[in-house]
Structure 1
Amino acid sequence: MSQPENEIVAAIDGSRRSVEAALWAAEEAQRHRAGLRILLINDDPARLDFAEQAVREATAACLDKAPDVQVADEVRPGHPVEALLRAEETARLLVLGSRGLGGFADALLGSVSTEVATRATGSVVVVRGDVEHSGGPVVVGLDDSPGIDNALHFAFEAAAVRGCELLAVQAWNEAALLAPPLPPAERDEAQLRIEQRAHQRLSGWTKRYPGLRAHAVAVRAHPVPALVDAADASPLLVVGHRGSGGFSGLLLGSVAAGVLHHARCPVAVIR
C-alpha cells in the first residue's frame, strides 16, 4: 500500500506505550490538520492476526481521541528498523513509543526507537514520560550549527499550534570550547556573550511568529542535563541531529540519544 506524503505516521506494536504514542500522534495530526497512518511492521508471519487486531484497536482509539482526523492503518512485513526508515522518508513526522516497537513489548529503548531516531533523514518524535504536560514551554536545544534552523522551525511551529511559549537553551562549558576553566569574571563575560548570541539567533524567528513569546537562556552545563531539566514541565523537547545544545558538530549519539533516555516528555529529533 502506498503511503501519502505529508502524513503523520505512528508506529505501533500493540504495546501500551506504542498506543500512547499513536494517541499523541492523533492529537498532533489534529493540530496540523494532517492525515494519520497507524503502521505496524510485522517481522513474524505467525503474528499476522495479532498485528491486524492491534492496528484496528489503535485506529479506533485514535479516532475516539481525534474524530476529525483521517486515519488509515496498515500492517507491513519486514525488519522494523529498515521498514520504519523507509516509511519515514515520505512522512511529515514519524512518531514512536519509547518502549516496545518490533514485536517485543516492553523492550528497552535503545533498540528500534533509538536506532530509527538516530538514522532517520527527517523528523522523528519519541513519546516518553508524561504526555499530559500543560503550561510549560516547548524547549529547543540551541547551538551554532548550520542545521539548527530546522529544529527552530519545528519548535516554533510546535509552540504556535499549542499556544504556549518557547524556550531555547544553549548549553556550554569550557571543555566543549576546548578551553581551560575560566576565572569567574571571564566566565560571566562568556555567559553573557553566549546568551546574547542565542537571543540574536531567535530574533528572525520571533518576527515570523509575532504572537509567540520566545526567549533564550545560556546554561553552563552539559547539554543533556541542561535540556532535560529545562523541559521538566514541557509538552515537547526539540533537538537537532547534530550539535543540539552548544556542542557544534557533536554526533546525535551523544546529546540527542542522551535526552531520549532521560527526558520526561516527548522528544523530537530533527535532521
Structure 2
Amino acid sequence: MSGLVVVGVDGSASSLAAVETAAREARWRRAGLRVVHAFLWPAMHVPLGPSALGPPEGGIRNMVEHLVAEAVACARSVAPEVDVSHAVVIGEPLSVLEAQSRTAQLVVVGSRGMGGFVGLLVGSTAVHLAAHGKCPVLVVREAGDQAGPVVVGVDGSIVGEQAVDFAFAEAALRKAPVRALHAWTTWNTPLSAPQDAAVPYANPPGALAREEERLVSEALAGHRERYPEVAVVHQVVHGRTREALIEASRSAQLLVVGARGRGGFAGLLLGSVSQAVLHHAHCPVAVARGSGGRR
C-alpha cells in the first residue's frame, strides 16, 4: 500500500495526539505522512516577525515553525521508518485540509483545536472535514481500547457499504477483529409487503428482525473472503443507532461510520448518527466518505 496520510496540526494537545495516530496509520499503510498547518495570519495582514520589544525567537512565524517541528519530531519518534514531510499552507484550516484530502488516502485531525470553545466536544474543523472531505477522515477523540475490535455501523446504505469496506481494511492493518453492529427500530426499518392480506399493515412476528439480520449478512457478503485473516462478529440490536454505537465504542479501538445512512435527508452531508458519535464516542472515529443513496 502506498499514498499519503495527512494530519492537521495547530499546536494543541489534541493535534499532537492526532499526529501519533497518523504516524501509526502511515506505518501500517506503508504510506508517507504529511504534517500540515493552516497559517491564517498572513491572509489577515498581521505582522509575522518578532516584536522590536520582544526576544528574537518571538513572533507568529517562529511560533508556527516551532509547533510544526514539534509535530514532525513526534511523528518520527512514533514511526521512524515513515517518510515525514511538512507544509505550512496559507489559509484557514477548513479549506486547507479539505484541499489536502483530495490527494490523501486518509486525513487525521484532533477532536478539538486551539480555537475550541470551553465545553465544545468536537471542533468545527473535525465536523467540517467529516462532512466535506474527499477521503476518509479519522477524528482522534479518546485513545480507545487498543485490544478491542474495529466497530463499524452497518445500515445497508451505499455510504454504509463504504464504511464496511474501510473497517475491514483498517482491521486487517491493525490485526484486529471487526464487530459489525446494526441497530434498528420499527421507525427506521422499511416495511416489506405484508404476507397476510387480511391484515394489510401487519407483519408476522419476528419478520422485521429477520429482515434486519438479512441486511447485515448482505452488507458483510464478500468481505470475509477478501479478508480471511480478520475475525468478524456481527450484532443486530433493537434500539437507537447512535446510543448502540456510542456504547460499543467503550470497548473499541476504532469506530467507523458512513457520512450518511439510509435515514438521511437528500443533500445532508453528515447524518445525525455520524455527528452524534463524533461528539460522544469513547474512541477515535473514522467517517468513510461516499455518495448518498440506498442499496
Q: What TM-score does the superposition give when structure 1 sets the normalisation length?
A: 0.88
The match for 1:220 is 238
Matched, 1:171 2:189: no
Q: Cα–Cα, structure 1 residues 110 and 16, in superposed 2: closer, same or farther, change >3 Å?
A: closer
1:37 and 1:71 in contact (8 A); partners too: yes
Matched, 1:19 2:16: yes
Q: How does 1:189-200 map to 2 (within 5 A)?
A: 189-200=207-218
1:42 and 1:77 in contact (8 A); partners too: yes
* Structure 2 residues not aligned, in runs of 5+: 43-47, 49-59, 192-200, 290-295
Residues 143-175 of structure 1: CA distance to partner in whole angstroms, max 9, x if unpaired?
Answer: 121233321111001111111110111111112
The match for 1:141 is 153
The match for 1:201 is 219
Matched, 1:104 2:122: no
The match for 1:247 is 263
Matched, 1:160 2:154: no
Q: 2:94 aligns with which of 81, 93, 102?
A: 81
Which stretch has the larger CA shift, 214-223 or 73-82?
Answer: 214-223
Distance in 2, matches of 1:40 and 1:61, equals: 15
The match for 1:117 is 130
Matched, 1:231 2:225: no
Residues 99-158 of structure 1: CA distance to partner in whole angstroms, max 9, x if unpaired?
Answer: 10xx52666324111112111122100000124x22211011111212333211110011
Identity of aligned residues (%): 37
Residues 183-228 of structure 1: CA distance to partner in whole angstroms, max 9, x if unpaired?
Answer: 9973x43223312331232121101111211122112222111111
The match for 1:95 is 108
Larger radius of gyration: 2
1:145 and 1:248 in contact (8 A); partners too: no
Distance in 1, matches of 2:138 and 2:259, equals: 12
Matched, 1:28 2:25: yes
Distance in 2, matches of 1:48 and 1:195, equals: 56
The match for 1:40 is 37
Distance in 2, matches of 1:106 and 1:32, equals: 34
**Aligned AA (1:137):** P
* Structure 1 residues not aligned, in runs of 5+: none
Give the match's secondary structure for 2:164: helix
1:31 and 1:161 in contact (8 A); partners too: yes
2:161 and 2:219 in contact (8 A); partners too: no
1:13 and 1:105 in contact (8 A); partners too: no
Give the match's secondary structure for 1:147: helix
2:10 and 2:37 in contact (8 A); partners too: yes
Give the match's secondary structure for 1:14: coil
Give the match's secondary structure for 1:94: strand
Which stretch has the larger CA shift, 86-95 or 42-51?
Answer: 42-51
Give the match's secondary structure for 2:158: coil
2:183 and 2:238 in contact (8 A); partners too: yes
Distance in 1, matches of 2:202 and 2:245, equals: 25
For the aligned residue pairs, the C-alpha RMSD in angstroms reads 2.2
Distance in 2, matches of 1:172 and 1:139, equals: 16
Aligned residues between the structures: 259
Give 1:249 shift. Answer: 5.8
Q: What TM-score does the superposition give when structure 2 sets the normalisation length?
A: 0.81
Q: Cα–Cα, structure 1 residues 227 and 183, in superposed 2: closer, same or farther, change >3 Å?
A: farther
